[in-house]
Amino acid sequence: MSSFLALLMFPALMAFIIAGFPIAFSMIVVATLFGMIQFGDVAAYQLLTKIEDTASNSILAAVPLFIFMGAMLERSGIAERLFGAIHLWTRRLPGGLGVGAIIMGTLFAASSGVVGATEAVIGMLAIPVMLKHHYSKSLMSGTICASGSLGTAIPPSITVVVLGPVAGVSVGALFSGLLIPGFLMAVMFLIYIIGVSYLKPEMAPRVVETEDEVDWPERMRITLVALLPTMALIFTVLGTILMGLATPTEAAACGALGSILLALAYRNLNREVLWHAAIKTMNISAMILLIVLGGSMFAGVFFASGGMATVQSLLMDTGLSPWMILGLILLIAFIAGFVLDLISVVLIIVPVAMPIVRMLGFDEIWFCVAFLVVLQTSYLTPPLAPAIFYLRAITPLEVTLKHMYRGVIPFIACQLVVLALVLAFPWIATWLPDVMSGPSWR
């Protein structure tokens, strides 16, 4: 009976969320209530143990460091300089401004890992220029949302940093497994933008010839000054993790220091920039880590109550094939992504899903990569797409929700194609982890 009582934790959690309670406090309250019902005073000890486990998790120390790095890149003007350099090379292409936004999103995602910050920075830089050149508002909206969403699918993603310990999988292995699908997604976005802009030039007019030209030596100088330091930062963070030279936390610390040095080199480092970056880091880190704590408490009570064994038996008794069970898990994750932030989805679903995935014999890295692609797709999917809410906050009123909803649909299709490829060809997610450090690393 107690195991079936544990299943009521999910409806209770959704009731708290719908009532307007913050997700972190909702998980903590539900875990406390059901823990006291099931175990009495002993539940207090279990919940306090989860607080200690979360506070002492060294991998989670990378979260505020990655956030600080992204905040410094945003506040110090490095992103603006990088976008200008990319724009010099892409503006003559069909949909050149959109191409530049996707490339910028890829580079910014690979250097910060913060989804919301990526979309906000790219949107504030690209939207005024796109409107000036009369880009289709739908294409513009979809491009900005898609470029920002790459922060989930391209390492170092904060979502991955949280997912690794929860799933019991190496964060470094997840980073390498996500690399090919993430860049494949970015390439598909580029192909779509160039293709639709070539077939329908009115959707993305090319830059007019009267704009000031920059000669080749100056163009190379601007590009090298903007791109080389950013690429060095990406190698410092991502390269050292993939090569096994640093743990995610060590690499994040080096990246945070590197972002300060970059701001200093570009003469954009001052007390105000540091203060705003520190405040933003504190706010976002506190929110994320409190959600992680709530998720840890929720999962602990659910497992101790026998909820996991009940879910497993219910799924096995349905007679569904392993692939259908896997599809059901991914569908639940997709639906949950409509109403919850990505990290909350990870903390609620992954602890339940991973034992089932292992029992069914699926590869852990492959499943986690497919799970992240599904989360990124839900991040873009209307009507409750978080990407659209971020975009709404930085766009003028002339860009309506209708434009945004219509604009993200082709990019959702691109993501679904990548998901299908990952599911059909698991080596896309498993090849690089095996090559980088061998199966033992996983």
Q: What are the DSSP calls for 248-268, one per residue?
A: HHHHHHHHHHHHHHHHHHTT-
Domain tally, the chain: 1
What end-to-end distance do the CA atoms of the chain give, in Å?
A: 38
Please count the other Cβ atoms lying within 10 Å of the Cβ belonging to residue 55.
10
pLDDT at site 440: 41
Are 378 and 333 spatial neighbours (Cβ–Cβ below 8 Å)? Answer: yes
Mean pLDDT, rounded, for 174-195: 93
Q: 373-386: buried (b, 16+ CB within 10 Å) or exposed (e) per residue? A: bbbbbbbbbeeebb
Would you state the pLDDT for residue 184? 94
What type of residue is 42? V
What was the pLDDT predicted at 401? 83
pLDDT value at residue 155: 81
Q: What is the pLDDT of residue 411?
A: 94
Of 265, 187, 262, 260, the closest CA to residue 232 belongs to: 262
**Domain ranges, residue 422:** 2-15+22-34+41-51+58-441
pTM for this prediction: 0.82
In 40-114, which residue ranges form alpha helices assigned H by DSSP? 42-55, 62-75, 78-90, 96-112
Torsion of CA 287, 291, 297, 301, to 10 degrees: 150
Distance CA 436, CA 245 (A): 12
Place of tokens 């409107």: 131
- Other Cβ atoms within 10 Å of 316 Cβ, number: 13
Q: What is the pLDDT of residue 385?
A: 72
**The predicted structure's pLDDT at residue 44:** 82
Label residue 205 by pLDDT band (50, 70, 90): confident
d(CA 2, CA 30): 15
